[in-house]
Chains A and B, each alone.
Chain A
Amino acid sequence: MDSLFAKADAVKPLAKRRKTSHKASQNGSNSLRNAGKDSANNDYTAQSVTKHTSVPKSLLPTPIESSSGKLPKYSHIANKKLRGELHRQSAHNARAKALVDESADMLLVEDAGKIEVEGEMERTWRVGQDEIVQSAGQEATKGRKELRLDGGPYRTRYTRNGRHLAIAGHHGHVATFDWQTGTLHTELQLQETCRDITFLQDQTFFAVAQKKYVYVYDRDGVELHCLKAHIEPTRLEFLPYHWLLASVGNAGYLKYQDTSTGQLLCEHRTKLGSCTTMTQNLHNAVIHLGHQNGCVTLWTPNLPHPAVQLLAHLGPVSSVSVDPSSGGRYMATAGKDGTVKVWDCRNWKGVVREWSVRGSGSETEVEWSQRGYLGVTSGGSVNVYTPPSISQPFNGHVPPPLYLTHPIPSRPLTSLRFTPFQDVLTIGHNAGISSILVPGTAEPNFDSSEADPFESRKARREREVKSLLDKIQPDLITLDPELIGTLVEPSKLVTSDGKPATDTPYARLPRFDQLRVSGKVDTTEDPGSADEATGGGDGEGIDEEKKQQLREEKDKKRMRGKNKSMKRYLRKQRKNVIDPATVAIRAKLEKMKEEKRKAILAKKGIIEEKKKPSALDRFKRKA
């Protein structure tokens, strides 16, 4: 037996951990290695095992010396296991973060574009498109384009990877093409008003907001669906991670259509009339609508009313955009009152910055780029502003320093889109489409798992299937996208003695609380709730009850202390029945009490005055 125990101890101490080994591990890796060596030499079993169980050096976790000081200690947590687990987790997170930081210079190989001026008097906005095109590379110059089209003012939209462009003219000219190679996918003359266009999950499908309904076409321009639930649509948005097509129309209804199942998910009545402005927050899938009365409302599918409603302008809102570079923190709105305002979406207390646009264009469009550059159309030109100054609070109604400007003669400018992963800004206007080069607006390093401009056909198919599998349920759309995976708030349910119900398991709750938790409690018999039901006017009932309680308590106390047996007997006899024996005893007791009182008074020398005879004495019962 002893040899067995010795062997067991050599493999691993099962019941009690010895302090010596613990100390060794604290001292550091060097001493640990020595200790390990010693024990291995002594013990055959361990020696035979270690060779095959040790982790290769390449897989050993790297020590985190640099950030070890920052690791929280969790010394306030009493539970050892929990503390250890938390410590392990935070160490793991720190290690992961260090790895990510390390990988950045390996993965992020491309640099963002920029314009730099040397002289103090030089300004970047003085640089014209010709100069930019001259200094740009062969590939980049492809981005500068002027398309003369006569379909009326144009709306444009890019796919998420920035490769494909869809355009819709107001008079029914719709086209999609790969704008980098210049190959046209389809071109349609729909012969009716087209107000907006959007791609669905990728370039293979697109939806057009036409005169009466929303229509879905495939890449080759074949009409697949007519969504008759969306009547007179004005704007469309597609939420790629939820597979939802949102539309808003002249009737002021916001409708969500699930494009993976084809169901109309929900429709919200905005009650604010015709709506012509819509955008989505890419980071939490909340829809922002701008209304005719100057309101901006934020919508999620699971709330029947706006999650946020704010009065942004003193006239109709003409354009809304959300900053993707800050995780959806800032929102820019433009109104027909000729102002552009920047809002903080976490704190709606007031505008962060506002300025009025020159040229007093009635149709001002705003759009944020991937890296936080803000494009604004003002009258006949497009202005681009650079990030930090846009969202810095500033008192005067002065625009932030201008980065770039480009005049476009054909008004109105109806659409403004920055190309993802390309330094290009595409403007849809009355005479077609023009795209200009704006250095620095696009994210230089794309992620192939999210959006790849150079994606092959097979990769596109695979991504489509994967994203369908990863489709997030629409109920999970909230203002805070990090809600999932956080701890549940503690329940507000309490037991009858005021403790939180979650502290005790259901089986150990008192029966009344069990019934209450399962919703089977009969509230009509609950004295407390009955009082509530009758209202505050019934004060006597409560008094009566209190008295009863007091009496019972008194009785209890009386029972505990010294007491007369006769009193106890009487209390036990207290009934509704009038028993002559009890009455006699009670009278006797009363008499004794009186005599006692008189004796005490006599002792003190007080002579009690006799009561004056009263007229009512004649009704007194004789003893």
Chain B
Amino acid sequence: MVRISVLQHAPEQHLPTRPGDPTPQSRNLNPLMHPFARARERKRALNAAKMDRIFAKPFVAALEGHIDAVETMTKRSDSLVNIASGSWGGDIILHNLTTRQITQRVPQAHKGKVSGLCYASADRLLSCGVDRTVKLWSAGDDGSEGSLTQPLNVFPGKAAFNAIDHHRSDGLFATASNIVQVWDETKTSPISNLTFPTSTETITALKFNLAESSILASCGSDRTFTLYDIRTSKAERRVVMQFRATALSWSPTLPTLLLLASEDHNLYTFDVRHLDRPTQIYKAHVSAVTSCEWSPTGMEFVSGGWDRTVRIWQFKDGKGVQRPEVYHTNRMQRVTSTLFSGDARFVLSGSDDGNVRVWKANASEKLGVITARERAAIEYRNKLKERWAVDSEVSRISRSRHMPKTIRSTDKLKHTMLEAKRVKEERRRKHTRAGEAKPKPEKKKIVVAEQT
């Protein structure tokens, strides 16, 4: 007795039952059914990397309106579209990001430059200037373009103001001049003066902590940054560094993490519990960094510098530093202020040429409606890039960036100088008695002194 069975496929199982139905798919995961699986996957990764570079068109729009360099920008915390910017000419402009139009304009808000801006609440804007006044403006979003002439309130000061920041919950704000002053919105004189004893410096930037809102950090012209507590009305700690810090920003997710932009071309993150050294050094700029801000997600931050570039860094929480994304255009001059939009999808930069530019935070992101299939394809491509990142060809393509010649040559020169410095130090160490000159870790070179 012989039993015979011959393979036969039932067509009704493999064909759509009605016209228009999707064709049934069958799978066999046996690796022998998929020859060259790895080679094909690598090819797909290569294509993904190439597509990423092809579609990397980060520039979205330039918001015009200022006739002088943009000095400062701020965003409204409860809205994704409202942005205010102040310029060296003394005017303040309120932009709408979706319509890309000016909602309000305040010509001659201050005499001289507007040095600081912040929203006091949804419809009130605080500005400070070098004309030694802080002004409170009504910034209601009524949808029509108008110009304001009269502030709601004026707070006179004794010295030119450099920065301003509002308290997260209370009606308080802090200003930076030669001292840090805390003001009540309802009173015309400061309620307290904060200064580190023995300090005679000019404060250039200050920010309230986002989690513990009575903590305040500032940086000054004496190569220092200082932490204050407004409840005790005194400076808690002060750190003297090798170079001056120009801007600072508190992490929105990690309450003790402070980001500093420094004049030595680097950015630093400090954990304020351990002020003797930064947790990470971020090197890429080829000139002084003038501004920095965290993304609202706390996963990345943006910095703008004197080298006319905007860079976006991934924050990897102590797991090293990735090369930052870098944005530049021909007409963008030195970047004085940078901002992340509230949804973390866009980056704004204000520069010396008087424009506020809007960039995508992810250069090759597609704007507009994305279908589910497209989303799946994008996610697959991202995973492939991540998986094959160590492949030399894939990494070469995804690393490549076109840079202006000036920046490239400056970068090269900088590298040469640093290398020469390192070699010199090494030689010096080689010719001193063994064990006498130990190499100092770079993180430990940053902080000169920590004062309490």
**Partner-B contacts on A (CB < 8 A):** 1, 3-5, 7-8, 11-12, 14-15, 100, 103-104, 107-108, 110-119, 122, 124, 127, 131-132, 135-140, 143, 241, 282-283, 285, 324-325, 327, 421-423, 437, 439-440, 442-450, 452-456, 459, 469-473, 476, 481-482, 484-485, 507
Chain B residues numbered 132-169 whose CB sits less than 8 Å from any CB in chain A: none
Distance in angstroms between the alpha carbons of A507 and B253 in the assembled complex: 39
| Interface: B39 (CB within 8 A) | yes
Q: Provide the residues of chain A in CB contact with B23, threshold 8 Å.
A: 448, 454-456, 459
Distance in angstroms between the alpha carbons of A446 and B23 in the assembled complex: 14
A14 touching B4, Cβ below 8 Å: no
Question: Apart from A103-B29, A114-B5, A117-B2, what 7 extra A-B contacts exist at CB < 8 Å?
Answer: A1-B215, A8-B211, A8-B255, A113-B5, A131-B2, A442-B7, A447-B26
* Least Cβ–Cβ distance between B291 and chain A, in angstroms: 24
Q: Which of A15, A103, A440, A469 contacts B47 (CB 8 A)?
A: A469
Distance in angstroms between the alpha carbons of A128 and B373 in the assembled complex: 51
Distance in angstroms between the alpha carbons of A282 and B3 in the assembled complex: 33
Distance in angstroms between the alpha carbons of A446 and B29 in the assembled complex: 10
Closest A residue by C-beta to B318: A14
B44 touching A140, Cβ below 8 Å: no
* Least Cβ–Cβ distance between B202 and chain A, in angstroms: 24
A104 touching B256, Cβ below 8 Å: no
A423 touching B6, Cβ below 8 Å: yes
Distance in angstroms between the alpha carbons of A108 and B26 in the assembled complex: 9
* Least Cβ–Cβ distance between B451 and chain A, in angstroms: 14
Q: Provide the residues of chain B in CB contact with A116, threshold 8 Å.
A: 2-4
Q: Provide the residues of chain A in CB contact with B36, threshold 8 Å.
A: 241, 283, 285, 472, 481
B2 touching A122, Cβ below 8 Å: yes
Chain B residues numbered 27-53 whose CB sits less than 8 Å from any CB in chain A: 27-29, 32-36, 38-40, 42-44, 47
| Interface: B10 (CB within 8 A) | yes
B43 touching A453, Cβ below 8 Å: no
Q: Provide the residues of chain A in CB contact with B54, threshold 8 Å.
A: none
Closest B residue by C-beta to A445: B28
User: Contacts A113-B7, A454-B11 hold; do A15 and B26 have CB atoms under 8 A apart?
Assistant: no
Distance in angstroms between the alpha carbons of A117 and B4 in the assembled complex: 9
| Interface: B300 (CB within 8 A) | no
Closest A residue by C-beta to B388: A485
B254 touching A8, Cβ below 8 Å: yes
* Least Cβ–Cβ distance between B228 and chain A, in angstroms: 10
Q: Provide the residues of chain A in CB contact with B27, threshold 8 Å.
A: 107, 447-449
* Least Cβ–Cβ distance between B305 and chain A, in angstroms: 25
| Interface: B271 (CB within 8 A) | yes
| Interface: B236 (CB within 8 A) | yes
A439 touching B5, Cβ below 8 Å: yes
* Least Cβ–Cβ distance between A579 and chain B, in angstroms: 35
B419 touching A4, Cβ below 8 Å: no
A140 touching B29, Cβ below 8 Å: no
B255 touching A136, Cβ below 8 Å: no
B8 touching A139, Cβ below 8 Å: yes
Distance in angstroms between the alpha carbons of A116 and B229 in the assembled complex: 88
B28 touching A447, Cβ below 8 Å: yes
Closest A residue by C-beta to B42: A484
Distance in angstroms between the alpha carbons of A464 and B119 in the assembled complex: 57
A-B contact pairs, 30 of them (CB 8 A): A4-B211, A7-B255, A11-B255, A14-B279, A15-B271, A103-B29, A107-B27, A116-B2, A116-B4, A117-B1, A135-B4, A136-B4, A139-B9, A282-B35, A421-B7, A421-B9, A439-B4, A439-B6, A445-B28, A447-B26, A447-B29, A453-B9, A456-B16, A456-B23, A459-B23, A470-B43, A472-B36, A472-B40, A484-B38, A485-B391
A4 touching B33, Cβ below 8 Å: no
Distance in angstroms between the alpha carbons of A119 and B6 in the assembled complex: 20
Q: Provide the residues of chain A in CB contact with B26, threshold 8 Å.
A: 107, 445-448, 452
Chain B residues numbered 254-274 whose CB sits less than 8 Å from any CB in chain A: 254-257, 271-274
A110 touching B4, Cβ below 8 Å: no
| Interface: B170 (CB within 8 A) | no
Report the 3 A-B pairs with minimum CB-CB distance, sorted nearest first.
A4-B212, A454-B14, A140-B8
Q: Provide the residues of chain A in CB contact with B391, threshold 8 Å.
A: 485
Q: Provide the residues of chain B in CB contact with A140, threshold 8 Å.
A: 6-8
Q: Which of A15, A325, A443 contacts B274 (CB 8 A)?
A: A15
Closest B residue by C-beta to A481: B36
B14 touching A481, Cβ below 8 Å: no
| Interface: B15 (CB within 8 A) | yes
* Least Cβ–Cβ distance between B391 and chain A, in angstroms: 8
Distance in angstroms between the alpha carbons of A124 and B4 in the assembled complex: 10
Distance in angstroms between the alpha carbons of A449 and B25 in the assembled complex: 8
Distance in angstroms between the alpha carbons of A472 and B43 in the assembled complex: 7
| Interface: B209 (CB within 8 A) | yes
B2 touching A137, Cβ below 8 Å: no
User: Contacts A1-B215, A14-B257, A241-B40 hold; do A283 and B35 have CB atoms under 8 A apart?
Assistant: yes
* Least Cβ–Cβ distance between B425 and chain A, in angstroms: 13
Closest A residue by C-beta to B27: A107
| Interface: B241 (CB within 8 A) | no
Distance in angstroms between the alpha carbons of A103 and B15 in the assembled complex: 22
Q: Provide the residues of chain B in CB contact with A444, threshold 8 Å.
A: 7
User: Contacts A108-B28, A136-B6, A470-B44 hold; do A447 and B34 have CB atoms under 8 A apart?
Assistant: yes
B279 touching A15, Cβ below 8 Å: yes
A137 touching B272, Cβ below 8 Å: no
Chain A CB within 10 Å, residue with most, of B3, B39, B256, B317: B39
Chain A CB within 10 Å, residue with most, of B7, B10, B47, B215: B7
B273 touching A15, Cβ below 8 Å: yes
A484 touching B29, Cβ below 8 Å: no
| Interface: B245 (CB within 8 A) | no
Chain A CB within 10 Å, residue with most, of B6, B27, B255: B6
A4 touching B42, Cβ below 8 Å: no
| Interface: B227 (CB within 8 A) | yes
B244-256 to A contact mask, C-beta < 8 Å, 1/0: 0000000001111
Closest A residue by C-beta to B317: A14
B39 touching A476, Cβ below 8 Å: yes
A115 touching B28, Cβ below 8 Å: no
User: Contacts A4-B212, A115-B4 hold; do A104 and B29 have CB atoms under 8 A apart?
Assistant: yes
B257 touching A472, Cβ below 8 Å: no
Distance in angstroms between the alpha carbons of A249 and B435 in the assembled complex: 74
Q: Provide the residues of chain B in CB contact with A285, threshold 8 Å.
A: 36
Q: Which of B28, B229, B256 contacts A5 (CB 8 A)?
A: B256
* Least Cβ–Cβ distance between A477 and chain B, in angstroms: 9
* Least Cβ–Cβ distance between B132 and chain A, in angstroms: 31
B271 touching A14, Cβ below 8 Å: yes
Closest A residue by C-beta to B319: A81
Distance in angstroms between the alpha carbons of A132 and B169 in the assembled complex: 86
Distance in angstroms between the alpha carbons of A41 and B297 in the assembled complex: 25
A485 touching B42, Cβ below 8 Å: yes
Chain B residues numbered 206-222 whose CB sits less than 8 Å from any CB in chain A: 209, 211-212, 215
Q: Provide the residues of chain B in CB contact with A124, threshold 8 Å.
A: 2
Distance in angstroms between the alpha carbons of A80 and B9 in the assembled complex: 53
Distance in angstroms between the alpha carbons of A446 and B391 in the assembled complex: 31
